[in-house]
Structure 1
């Protein structure tokens, strides 16, 4: 069987702890190489993970002719620059969310991708591919909760480490970029359209300058989505979806465990049905789908334009929070 040969840009924890092990479980992927800014770090990660090749620079990895695709889990400010370099080196790109620091930066990546129509590019919103979200999407589309009217999301964790990239404003830190993007993405996913206007409220950390607490309302015309996200609050995540005739509750919407079944609850006409999903690793599912698009030359599950649209909503929420008005 033909495999997609992957190179990993950096030894970021999301890659070494989540994505690489998931790729190694795939029947369509081979993790061929990993790169760091220094050789010793790359060697250590490669040995620990059983990756055949280790490079002491990102440039060296991109120069490897045997690598078909690149996974980019670099800090947010490096997403677009290194994804562009990967495309120009002839590699397919799976880039971590959010796609960049701004919608305009995302547009630059989109423009580069358009010059390489033979290459696949996708933002790595792994949650969308998990069976629990596919089930939720079908329930909404089949009107099993009636007409979709409202979505409520809570997503939080506690992190006050000044050295953590999520707390460094200059490189795209903050809750909206890190986890608020999920809240926005899922609302757009379920409503299957863009919000007409948004209202945001943001509290910044006085030392980091990053948003540590953010709330927003997204008006889709036919319904609304609201969320709260925080980087300095009790760890929690939950999604509730409400329709005219029923509701859906997703227990672990984003960090779905790879070794335990997930549950969602579907309530309709006064009866609640617990739906238990088979155990799966959502990162493996994501890699399978992206690799299949490469091998079969078919569209990726989520087009890059979706990533740019998500960034526009983040920017609108910030603009609303700054002006105190709907945007």
Structure 2
């Protein structure tokens, strides 16, 4: 079974990453694009000449030849168009955050269950072997009990005031854009959930541009302290460190593997030489599309179910609820 995909909107991210990933993935075909901006279609057709073009999202959803849709629209449109796609009988992969509040995920879960369709948030890192290796090392006790986790993700887009991430009306802000990684990745790797959080934010034009979150999380690895920094106004940085009783695990390029730098997992343990696991040629977007297809073909559990995404959104909701503005 080849999954025929359509994309709602000619977003730059879809052009640069997910469109080529769908086109390259085994068992997938990029078949259609919906956009009201004809000038944007040439770049997609440059790598996918046979692409069918629709001038509206509704027209693509009505296309009976399309099995699944990828939705890279601005954040505030994710929920509504995901629900419309489900109602049209399409499998759905939507960019994060798929909904703006955790409670809204309940609508998606109910619609998924009623339809029998595969509906998921495009949280690509859970498919990358860097994160699968990290989770396996932690579960195996490679660093003993986890005692502390540091996460950081920053970039600088202050020169782009019109960017949807800098606009409150489109659901912008650093936490919704990249906090989903600094929070959700730790949940994925450890199975832990936050039990106490504090947060400090800086805002511009109604969106958070810097956030520092601290607190405690608890789960199968035990209770540990946690720190996460996100910013849209700092020099680019990506790093995650899991510190345990007998060692630590450091991830380089943990979120934009291959784009920010080489994806590595460094295992440092007391009395032992550091072990470095390298993943230089892995495209996590392709892996995400292929995992989606496998789930449709043979029922393989998808790596990022809606229930997991709901948990990360609940953590985001808590951060906003407890935050103090600087």
**Structure 1 length normalisation: TM-score?**
0.93
Change (3 A) 1:141 1:301: same
Report which of the two has the higher share of strand: 2
- The answer to whether the 8 A contact 1:258-1:279 is kept is no
What is the 5 A alignment of 1:57-76? 57-76=56-75
The answer to whether the Cα contact below 8 Å between 1:166 and 1:174 also exists between their aligned partners in 2 is yes
Partner residue, 1:300: 302
Local SS of the residue matching 1:216: strand
* Correspondence list, 1:1-327, <5 A: 2-38=1-37, 40-41=38-39, 43-50=41-48, 51-117=50-116, 119-160=117-158, 161-205=160-204, 208-221=205-218, 222-257=223-258, 261-270=262-271, 271-322=273-324
- Structure 1 moving runs of 4+ over 6 Å: none
CA deviations on 1:113-167 (whole Å, 9 max, x unpaired) are: 12112x1011111112111111111110100011112110111000121110000
Task: Identify unmatched segments of 5+ residues in structure 1.
Answer: none
Task: Report the secondary structure of 1:145's partner residue.
Answer: coil
Count matched residues: 319
The worse-fitting range, judged by mean Cα deviation, of 269-278 and 145-154 is 269-278
Q: 1:197, CA displacement in angstroms?
A: 2.0
Q: Which runs of 5 or more structure 2 residues have no equivalent in the other structure?
A: none
CA distance in 1, matches of 2:275, 2:190: 22
- With over 3 angstroms needed to count, the CA separation of the structure-2 counterparts of 1:163 and 1:278, relative to structure 1, is closer
CA contact (8 A) 1:152 1:240 kept: yes
The TM-score normalised by the length of structure 2 is 0.93
Q: Please give the per-residue CA displacement for 1:209-253, whole angstroms capped at 9, x wherever unaligned.
A: 100010102411411221100001111111111111111111110
Shift of 1:308: 1.3
1:259 deviates by 11
